[in-house]
Amino acid sequence: MSRSTWRVLTRRPGRVVGLGILLFFALLAVFGPSIYSGPLAIDPNDIYGSPSAQHWLGTDFAGSDIFRELVLGARYVLETAALSALFTVVIGTGVGLLAGYHRGATDSVLMRITDFVLTIPGLPLLIVLSTVWSFGRPLEMATALGVTGWGGVARAVRSQTLSLRERGFLEAARGLGLSSRHVIVRELLPNLAPFVAMNMLLAVIAFIGAEVALFFLGVVPFSSSNWGVMLNQAVFSGGAMDSSAALSYLLSPLVCILLITFGIVLFLDAVDELFNPRLRERT
């Protein structure tokens, strides 16, 4: 990592904390299932057990260890969210850039499509879709979420592009004879980078929320280690809203989601500086 990148990251302690949290969950998602391989052990004698030395976070409705479930479930949640954010941002940025740069007919057509996508009610559509499509794999869910969610990014990137267009350096680049492709990719995109990166991180938070909501509502196939399903079980089967027996079961995934969001928010602070060389010099 170059010196200036290191300096940007360590300038405020919050950023390091944020990055640490994100790295922790990323490692958990990648390596967790290998460490905790094998099917979940069921223990009918210890249903909704409280946290103990053997089960750090207690047990669920079937006596399985909650901690293990969290670790196993992390991968699906994070992979889906990351992929959805990637799709959304890539499609949205592409559309917004092209519309803003070329203007005219291209702009009109692309913006009408964007408007259409924006009007699609995301969550209800996904609920309906779930009746015919089981989102078993992260890629499937990510596609569904990503394809319906890029409208906002497209609009925002388009307006950024329109205002950047007025900057002299674009006109100069065209005057020198550089191609449109060069101008869009090499001149415009680097200036949009902080905006796009921030949107991507924020999109991850939004998508975690969206998919957990879907699972909570019970519209996707059951898989006990899924965080949303854990919430569903905790509230509807474990009576977490009434008694404290399933409290740990309810809180564990919630706290994880909270932590990830917190980590992203803290790390966001560094993103602008990372991409914008001008901000790095200031005290």
Partner 1 sequence: MIEATGIERMFHAHGAFTGARVVRALRGVDFTLPEGGAVSFIGESGCGKTTLGRILAGLETFDGGTLRVDGVDVSGLSKRKRSGVFRGIQMIHQDPYSVLNPTRTVATTLAAPLKSVARRTDVAERSRELLTLVGLDPESVLPKYPHQLSGGQRQRVVIARALTVDPRVLIADEAVSMIDVSMRLGILSLLRDLRERLGISLIFITHDVATARYLGEGGELHVIYRGEVIERGPVETVIQSPVHPYTQCLLSAVPVLKGIEAPGPDRLVPRATLDAAADTPGCLFEPRCPFATEQCRHEHPSLGAQRIDGEDGSAGTQHACFHPAVRNVAAVDLHPV
Partner 2 sequence: MTDTAAKSTDTAVPAQAHAEVAVRDLTICFRVADRGELPAVSHANLTLAPGRITGLVGESGSGKSTLALSLLGAVPPPGRITGGSVTISGVGDVAALRGEKLRAMRGGQVGYVFQASQNSLNPLKTVGKQLLDLGRAHDVDDLRGLVRRARELCELMGMDGARVLDSHQHELSGGMRQRVGIVFALVLNARVLVLDEPTTALDMLSQAAVLDIIAKVHEEIGLTTLIVTHDMGVVSELADNLAVMYGGRIVEFGPAEELLRSPSHPYTKALINATARVTGDITRAQPLPGRPPDLASIPGEGCVFRDRCAFVMEVCATVEPALAPSAGRADRSRACHAEVETVTAS
Q: Tell me: does residue 282 bind partner 2 (CB under 8 A).
A: yes
Torsion of CA 133, 139, 142, 143, to 10 degrees: -70
Residues 67, 69, 72, 77, Cα dihedral to 10°: -110
The residue (of 181 and 282) whose beta carbon lies closer to partner 2 is: 282
Q: Which of 1, 3, 175, 242 binds partner 1 (CB under 8 A)?
A: 175
d(CA 79, CA 120): 24
Residues in the chain, overall count: 283
Per-residue binding string, partner 2, 174-213, x by CB under 8 A, is ----------------------------------------
Contacts of 214 (CB under 8 A, 6+ apart): 123, 126, 127, 130, 135, 141, 220, 228
Given the complex with partner 2, which of 119 and 283 has the nearer CB atom?
283
- Identify what 275 binds: partner 2, partner 1, none; CB under 5 to 8 Å per kind: partner 1
Three-state DSSP class for 59? strand
Q: Does 2 bind partner 2 (CB under 8 A)?
A: no
Minimum CB–partner distance for residue 198 and partner 2 (Å): 24
DSSP reduced 3-state for 65? strand
Q: Which stretch binds partner 2 (CB under 8 A): 65-73, 167-175, 235-243, 275-283?
A: 275-283
CB 267 within 8 A of CB 24: no
What does the per-residue mask of binding to partner 1 show for 69-98, with x meaning CB under 8 A?
------------------------------
To partner 1, the closest distance from the beta carbon of 179 in angstroms equals 7
Under the binding rule (CB under 8 A), the answer on residue 169 touching partner 1 is yes
Q: What is the gyration radius of the CA atoms in the chain, in angstroms?
A: 22
**123, 193, 197, 245: which one binds partner 1 (CB under 8 A):** 193
Relative orientation angle of helices 151-165 and 66-102, to the nearest 10 degrees:
40
Q: How many residues bind partner 1 (CB under 8 A)?
A: 22
Q: Choose the one of partner 2, partner 1, none that binds residue 178, judging by a C-beta under 5 to 8 angstroms depending on kind.
A: partner 1
Decide: is 131 part of the binding site for partner 2 (CB under 8 A): no
Q: Spell out the residues 6+ positions from residue 193 whose beta carbon is closer than 8 angstroms to its own.
A: 275
Helix residue ranges, H only, the chain: 3-10, 13-35, 66-102, 104-119, 122-132, 138-149, 151-165, 168-176, 180-182, 189-216, 227-232, 247-275
CB of 173 to partner 1, least distance (A): 8
24 binds, among partner 1, partner 2, none (CB under 5 to 8 A by kind): none
> Quick one: which segment of 44-52, 116-124, 137-145, 172-180 binds partner 1 (CB under 8 A)?
172-180
Residues that bind partner 2 (CB under 8 A): 281-283
